[in-house]
Amino acid sequence: MNIIDELTWRGAVNQQTDAEGLKKLVSSRPISLYCGVDPTGDSMHIGHLIPFMMMKRFELADHHPYILIGGATGSIGDPSGRKSERQLQTMETVQHNVAALSAQMQKLFGGADHISFVNNYDWLSKISLLEFLRDYGKLFNINTMLAKDIVASRLDVGISFTEFAYQILQSVDFLTLHRKYNVQLQIGGADQWGNITSGIDLIHKVAGADAEVYGLTIPLMLKADGTKFGKTAGGAIWLDEKKTSPYEFYQFWLNQDDRDVIKYLKYFTFLDQTEITEIERQLKTHPENRLAQRRLAEEVTRFVHGEDALKSAQRITDILFAGNIGSLSATEVQAAFGKAPSVEITSTPSDIVTLLVTTEIEPSKRQAREDVTNGAITVNGVRITDVDQVIDPHDKFDGQFVIIRRGKKKYFLAHVQD
C-alpha cells in the first residue's frame, strides 16, 4: 500500500499542499521529510507522539525522516493555539529541555536505520540580524503573514514581533533542510499549516517555483465525546516514566472508550489493516472482552517503554484486579499508587482507628470505628473489621508504604517516615 494511502486509511491526513503530486513523488522513489518539536518542556506527552508515529511509518516504507528539535525556535515560542504571549524560558532551561527531548527521541527512534536527528540551533544561531532581514525578511510579505490563522487569531489581543517572526524561522528550517538534505516534505499538526505553507513559499522564492516540496498536516485528535485527546483528570499523559509511570501509561490506553479504540489502534500502533479489521470485528461481537483496548495498551506501552515495562504494568494490573495488593513490590506500589492521595505516617505501630484519624482519612474516631466495623477499610489489601487491630508499617513493601482503601475505590498511599 502506498504510504499516503496507508495514512489516509489510518485517518492521519488532514491537509496536503498537493495531494496528487505528493502521492506521485513517494510512489516513485524514497524521499526525505521532517517534523519538528520545540523544547517547551523536558518531556513529550502523547499528543506530541502523533506526528512522529507518522514519521516512523514513512521510515518503515523506506523513506528518510529527519526529526528536528527546535533548540532555537523553542527559545522564542510558537504563537500557535495561544491567546497570549509565551513566557520566555532561560537558555539554560531550553538547552536542558533539548537534551531531555533528544534522549527521548533517541530512545523511541534511535534504533532505526534511516531516521536522523537535527537541531535548528545549529543554523539559526549563526544568522546575524542583518542577514535575517536581507536574506529572509525581504522575502516575506506582511499582509500574507497577517492572514495566516496562527497570527490572525492573535490580532485582537496583540502579538509581539518575536512570536510574529516565528513562521520565518520555521520557514528557514525547511529551506535549510531542503538545501542540505533534499528534504521535500514537512509534516505537522493541523495548527502548523500556516508555518508549513510559509516554508514552501520561501523555498519556491529561493530555489525556484519548480522545486518539489510539499506539506502534510494531521487532524486535531478529539475523543468521541468531543473533548481533547491526551488529557485526564490528573493532567497530561507523559512519555517520561518519571512523570507518568508505565503502569499509569498502560492503564490510560486500557481504559479507552469503545468508540475511540479502533481510531487509536490506527494512529498509535503498527498493526496492519488486516489485523485491525479483525480486532474491530471482535470489538463489535464481544466488546466485553476488551481485546481492542488490551492490544492498544500492549502495543503503545511496548513502543514507548519497552517489553520489561509492559510486563511490569501487566503484572500490577493483574494483581490489583485480583485484589492481591500484598504481592506488589515497593517499586510497583509507587508505580501503581503514585498519583493516589498521599499521607505521611510514622514507623510506630498504631491501632487502625488512630491511624485513620491522624492521617485525616477519616474525619473522626466515630466515623473511623463505623467504617471499620462495616468492612469499608482495607490495609495492604486485607479487610480490617476489628477497631483494635494494630497496623505495623513495617509489615509490607520494605517498610516504605501502607496502602489504605476506604470504600470500593478510594485509595490512600501512606509514606512511612522514620
3-state secondary structure 391-403: ECCCCCHHHCEEE
Residues 286 and 144 in one domain: no
Instruction: Give 288-316 pLDDT, tens digit per residue.
Output: 999 999 999 999 999 999 999 999 999 99
pLDDT of residue 64: 95
Q: Is residue 126 part of a domain?
A: yes
Residues 204 and 258 in one domain: no
Q: Which residues are annotated as a binding site for ATP?
A: 231
Residues 314 and 195 in one domain: no
Domain membership of residue 390 as a residue range: 342-417
Of 40, 42, 153, residue with least CA distance to 88? 40
How high does pLDDT run on average in the chain? Answer: 90
Residues 6+ apart with CB under 8 A from 279: 262, 265, 271, 291, 292, 295
Rounded CA-CA distance 219/237 in Å is 19
Residues 44 and 186 in one domain: yes
CATH number assigned to the domain comprising residue 122 = 3.40.50.620
Q: Which stretches of 210-340 are DSSP H helices?
A: 246-254, 258-268, 273-285, 291-305, 307-322, 330-337
pLDDT of residue 16: 96
Q: Is residue 74 part of a domain?
A: yes
Residue 179 burial (CB count, 10 A): 12
- Which sign does the torsion angle of CA 168, 169, 170, 172 carry? positive
Residues 46 and 74 in one domain: yes
Instruction: Give 234-254 pLDDT, tens digit per residue.
Output: 678 899 998 899 999 999 999
Q: Give the three-state DSSP class for 414.
A: strand
pLDDT of residue 82: 65
Q: Which residues are annotated as a binding site?
A: 34, 166, 170, 231
CATH number assigned to the domain comprising residue 408 = 3.10.290.10
The model's pTM = 0.85
Residues 136 and 193 in one domain: yes
- Decide which of 218, 253, 274 is a domain's last residue: 218
Residues 184 and 237 in one domain: no
Number of domains in the chain: 3
Q: Which residues are annotated as a binding site for L-tyrosine?
A: 34, 166, 170
